Amino acid sequence: MARPNIMVVDDEKNICELLRLYLEKEDFDVTICNNGSDAISLIRQNQPSLVLLDIMMPVIDGWEVCRQVREFSNVPIIMLTAKGETFDKVMGLDLGADDYIVKPFDTKEVVARVKAVLRRSSTADTEGEVRYDKLTVNIVKYELCVDGKVIDTPPKELELLYHLAKNPNRVYTRDQLLDEVWGFEYFGDSRTVDVHVKRLREKLEGVSDQWSLKTVWGVGYKFEVKTP
C-alpha cells in the first residue's frame, strides 16, 4: 500500500524540515513547498493526501491558496499560522479548511491532527450517500442534488449537511458539530456553524415538507424528518 503523501507549504524552511522529520517517522511521504503559487500547481499535479498550509506566505497567501484549491480539489487542508484570532479561524474554515493549528505548535499534536483528518477523510470516501424526498447528499462524489438538480456546494457545507442528515432527528450542539465535522475539540466560536447552516438553508428552503434543517433554540441544530 502506498504511503500517504503530506504536502507542507510554508516559507519558513526550518518549520518545513521539522515537520518533515516527524511526519516521515510516522511513515508519511512528505513534499515541501515554500510559496503559495507553486503550491497550487503541485497540489493539482501531485494530488497529495493532505496539505499543511501556512497562511502568511509570499506570492499568494494561504487563504487564497485554500480558495483556489477548493475550486478543483477536496484534498484535506490544515491551516498553520501565527494568527490566532477568531476571525482568522472562521475565515479559514469558511474557505474550506478542515482544521486549524496556531503557531507555535507542538509537532506531535500536528502529527495527531494529520492522522485524525486523514481518518475522517477516509471514512467520508466509503460511507456513501443519504436520500430523502427531493434530496440526495453524496459524500463520495461531494455532490448535493436538490429536486433533481446538482447544486454547487462548498465541501464543508456538504459535510455538515451529510452529518446531520445521516442522523435524522438527532440534536447536535454547535460544539459537537465543530468537533465531529471540523475536528475542533476546543475551538470555542460557534459562528462558523451558524454561517454554514444559513447557507444550506438558502439552498434547501421550500424544497420538501417531509424534512427540514431545524434550529433547536438554546441547543443547536437537527435534520428533522417527519414520521408518517
Residue 119 shares a structural domain with residue 30 = yes
Q: Residue 125 has which C-alpha cell?
A: 470516501
Is residue 17 domain-shared with residue 118, that is, in the same domain? yes
Over the stretch 68-127, which tens digit does the pLDDT of each residue have? 988 888 789 999 887 666 666 677 677 788 888 888 888 888 999 899 888 776 655 545
Same domain, 166 and 194: yes
In angstroms, the Cα distances linking 217 to 98, 173, 220, 221 are 27, 10, 6, 8
Which of residues 82, 102, 125 is at a domain's end?
125
For residue 133, the domain's CATH number is: 1.10.10.10
Buried b vs exposed e over 141-155: b needs ≥16 C-beta within 10 Å?
eeebbbeeeeeebbb
104 prior amide bond cis, ω within 30? yes
Exposure string (b/e) for 110-122, b if CB count within 10 Å is 16 or more?
A: bbebbebbbebbe
Same domain membership, residue 40 and residue 116 = yes
Q: Are residues 46 and 86 in the same domain?
A: yes
What pTM did the predictor assign?
0.58
Is there a single domain that holds both residue 25 and residue 133?
Answer: no
Task: Give residue 66's domain range.
Answer: 5-125
Tell me the range of 26-30, 126-130, 164-168 where mean pLDDT is highest: 26-30
Q: Are residues 167 and 215 in the same domain?
A: yes
User: Does residue 159 share a domain with residue 146?
Assistant: yes
Across 131-135, average pLDDT: 89
120 and 145 both lie in a single domain? no
**137 plus 113 within the same structural domain:** no
Number of domains in the chain: 2
Q: Are residues 10 and 79 in the same domain?
A: yes
Average pLDDT over residues 40-51: 90
Given 91, 107, 125, the domain boundary residue is 125
Domain check: are 132 and 188 in the same one? yes
